[in-house]
Amino acid sequence: MTDVAAGPPRAASTVRSVLLLGPDHPTRRETVIAGISACVDGAGDHRGDPAALGAALSAGWLPKAVPSVEPNEDGVMLAAGPGGLLLAVADGHGGSAAATAALRALAVAAADLLAPPAEGTDRRGGARLVRALAAAAVDGVADVAEPARTALGLVLAVDESIFSTGYGDTLTALVRRGRPRVISTPSEFLGPGTRGSQDEGRSVERRRRRPGDAVLIVSDGVPDYLGRAFPEAVGTVLRGDGRSVPDAPAVARALVGRAGAAGAGDNITAAVLLPAAPPSWRARLRR
């Protein structure tokens, strides 16, 4: 496996982001990684979430098991601003056009929507923000040529809450005490015919994020090839090597690597949000 470090995040005043697109990384057994600190300047009394965001993307280890238009149709985006932390994973179908358009639109929207400090973590406020981000992604694919589609998973973390929504079959999980709890539900894929700004009632999941909790989004190639070993693999990569400060890109890379070693004939992508300090369950397991 070859690791390729992504370029530096795009400069921004208060919102920092990084975007990895599959077409830029078509080589099998190569993994590109990226990460950003979640501490945010200019957040007033909120001095930043003591956490880290990381991502890893690969075209996979083996030729795709089903016909595809491009070698790597996945993509991933991370963003951090006074308004919250954003993770997004896209898995294109019928080419990468829809995945790329959705993530680029998200990056633009995040630069605006995450710039103001969060007004609170109530259900309505967080859900409204996630829906606004999702609507931007939907609007972004409006002009993509048929039959391109994409799965898209979104997670917004604000203080002690996370809000998630999605399209298609990406998997989103809250990881507590090393055990992933899936909070996403498969749905229709995102494409040119999907409603955008009118989709005000779209389902949004809200969960409390306790100290030590991690959050991850993966494209379907990760759980498909890990199978029943997926929960154990998540716990193992989170335990890592006993680092005092978790390395989110390394965790994402390790999870992608395990799926690849399991014979992944598909694109495999992971986005991870980690707490800054190792959770107590991990310390006990090392004794």
Q: Going residue by residue through the chain, which has 287 residues, state the pLDDT in tens, using 9 for 90 and above.
A: 555 555 444 444 589 999 999 999 999 999 999 999 876 554 433 344 446 899 999 999 999 988 889 999 999 999 999 999 999 999 999 999 999 999 999 999 999 999 988 765 566 788 889 999 999 999 999 999 989 999 999 999 998 899 999 999 999 999 999 999 999 999 999 999 887 554 556 789 999 999 899 999 999 999 999 999 999 999 999 987 555 455 899 999 999 999 999 998 999 999 999 985 555 544 443 43
Q: What is the 3-state secondary structure (H, E, C) of the chain?
A: CEEEECCCCECCCCCEEEEEEHHHCCCCCEEEEEEEECCCCCCCCCCCCCEEEEEEEECCCCCCCCCCCCCCCEEEEEEEECCEEEEEEEEEECCCHHHHHHHHHHHHHHHHHCCCCCCCCCHHHHHHHHHHHHHHHHHHCCCCCCCCEEEEEEEEEECCEEEEEEECCCEEEEEECCEEEECCCCCCCECCCCCCCCCCCCCCEEEECCCCCEEEEECCHHHHHHHHHHHHHHHHHHHCCCCCCCCHHHHHHHHHHHHHHCCCCCCEEEEEEEECCCCHHHHHHCC
CATH number belonging to the domain at 2-285, selected among 3.30.420.480, 3.60.40.10, 3.30.2130.10, 3.60.15.10: 3.60.40.10
The pLDDT of residue 193 is: 86
The pLDDT of residue 48 is: 44
Domain parsing of the chain, residue ranges: 2-285
The pLDDT of residue 41 is: 53
The pLDDT of residue 153 is: 98
The pLDDT of residue 101 is: 98
